[in-house]
Structure 1
């Protein structure tokens, strides 16, 4: 038996639409063991609450085995820890796709390289922003060039923390994409290109004072904010209590405030503020995960 984990991720990080992503220390864990008979998928030792045909871990596992013509007599996959929430903008689908392909690769004897796993996963997900950091960890810039994923890692300051605020309602990526315009002006494109470049350099150089300007965006956040209740008030409170910058995580509904170090006063102030809003908010003070997929035992 092996047990491995895949980190959740935050994508876009403001201006890096469909290309920037960062792995976080919030995880799904899966065990894989050989058994007699059929392939089973369990969650905490019980039948999956999600139909197998809709379960991305299971379908990614089966589809990968089938693609490489690998016959499997009996395997049990067990999702023993599921801390990455579904449809909240923390890369849950990418986490599941990567987990299924990684598990299939273990069964097939490790015939796929890390790059193969990334490319196979992006074919399923459709874009690389969450997939790449889930596999390799850290903050990444990624793109697809002639069908192949290319990526580069960005240095992240050691004391960067992400105060993650998760409301108790889902927001699907599909719904969040329908609100986006089909065309953008030259000025909007230049705005995002300049901020994206500045964000990378600000991270690389630890220029915290430039983060607030660097995460500005005119591609998606101004449109998606209308789908997230109280977002302006949450961002204003975070700024008031000392955050470095605020962004929508992926397509939402999760919001993120960047802070320097383990700022517990900021966390307590934000918890108090969020408790007064109409929705129930779950919060985590997270660090970037720099390992990506990791075999635990």
Structure 2
């Protein structure tokens, strides 16, 4: 280990977008960055330990010390590069809902890695491949962290060289609508409901729809309804989130490309244009049962950003 340390008083500002993974057929592969953000400011301190101030989502719920996920990620990154961890003061303004299938844990991990990158500026160079590798190691899979890091539509996979990604630009007509329920959903529970094996014809079905979905998102939004059909994961998880499935089914009955967002229970509607999104929002508003918060979001094309502020003398 080296005695190198980040300058005391150095501050970084980080912004990380929400994400929606799977997008229907692209299970554990496709992800989309959305214009809903967590903003953080992290400052190094001579005082040991970590002090975290949370505003917005998670306030009064998430840890405010060294057990905080962002802080743990910063510590992990510093240790990986053999740099002494300073004291940390962190202020977070969180807007990404927790436990709703919008990549909140992935966003926290990406925020910590980006904060570490900024705090280590001039000491260690962490390139995009290293960012994805670190985030995937902590998250367990790259489908949420890739779009959070790089923005846009991402295809993520793992090779013998580690996690990889390809970023694609989305057709300007694509207009996402996110429907957020009051209830949360455990990602671990959602994953446990998947079968160990699936029928060959279902796998082939999803391969065709995933290929079509790429074409629909980057070139032909009018194909989004057909392209978002899925037989690999959503039906197996239906019993754990009946209200989500009910909303998805109603939206799809109106010809709208609705899917479960990530592990759920939020619903993502990939509309072909802003007018269709207004139609989708009206269907959600008229839907019976528990209320849904409908968010009209844009596709985020920048991904996570970090700005470094020099240490104050």
TM score, norm. by length of structure 1: 0.91
Alpha-carbon distance in 1 for matches of 2:149, 2:52? 22
The 1:48/1:272 distance shift into structure 2, 3 A limit, reads closer
Seen in structure 2, the aligned counterparts of structure 1 residues 106 and 267 have a Cα distance that, compared at 3 Å, is same
Question: Per-residue deviation at 1:37?
Answer: 1.1
Instruction: Name the residue aligned to 1:5.
Output: 15
- What CA distance in whole angstroms lies between the structure 2 residues aligned with 1:194 and 1:270? 28
C-alpha displacement of 1:54: 4.8
1:21-170 maps to which residues of 2 (within 5 A)? 21-38=31-48, 39-44=50-55, 49-51=61-63, 52=65, 54-79=67-92, 81-109=93-121, 110-170=124-184
Q: Deviations over 1:40-94 (max 9, x none)?
A: 2221399964234653211111111122221133331211x21111111000111
How many angstroms apart in 2 are the aligned matches of 1:91 and 1:99? 12
Aligned ranges for residues 183-194 of structure 1 at < 5 Å? 183-194=197-208
Q: Which runs of 5+ in 1 are unaligned?
A: none
SS in 1 for 2:102: coil
Per the alignment, residue 281 of structure 1 pairs with 292
Label 1:200 to 1:226 Cα distance change in 2 as closer, same or farther (>3 A): same
Aligned partner of residue 88 in structure 1, secondary structure:
coil
Residues 42 and 284 from structure 1, CA distance in 2 versus in 1: closer, same or farther, beyond 3 angstroms? Answer: same
8 Å Cα contact 2:75-2:85 kept in structure 1: no
- Quote how far apart the aligned CAs of 1:268 are: 4.9
Pairwise CA distance, 1:261: 3.1
Deviations 1:136-155 (A, max 9, x none): 00001010111512111233
**Distance change (3 Å), C-alpha of 1:71 and 1:280:** same
TM-score of the two chains, using structure 2 as the length reference: 0.86
Q: Quick one: distance in 2 between partners of 1:169 and 1:139?
A: 27
Q: Secondary structure at the match of 1:159?
A: coil
Change (3 A) 1:232 1:44: closer
Q: Which residue of 2 is the match for residue 258 of structure 1?
A: 270
> Contact 2:118 / 2:306 at 8 angstroms: preserved in 1?
no
Quick check: 1:20–1:140 contact (8 Å CA) kept in 2? yes
What does the per-residue CA deviation read over 1:14-39, in whole Å, with 9 as the maximum and x for residues that have no partner?
11111100000001000122333123
Count of aligned pairs: 292
Matched, 1:19 2:34: no
Q: Distance in 1 between matches of 2:293 and 2:255?
A: 20
**1:295: Cα distance to partner?**
3.3
Q: Deviations over 1:152-195 (max 9, x none)?
A: 12331112111111111111110001111001121111111111
The answer to whether the 8 Å contact 2:18/2:148 transfers is yes
Q: Hey, what's the Cα distance between the residues in 2 that align with 1:34 and 1:271?
A: 45
The match for 2:187 is: 173
Offset, 1:234: 1.6
Contact kept? 1:169, 1:253, Cα under 8 Å: yes
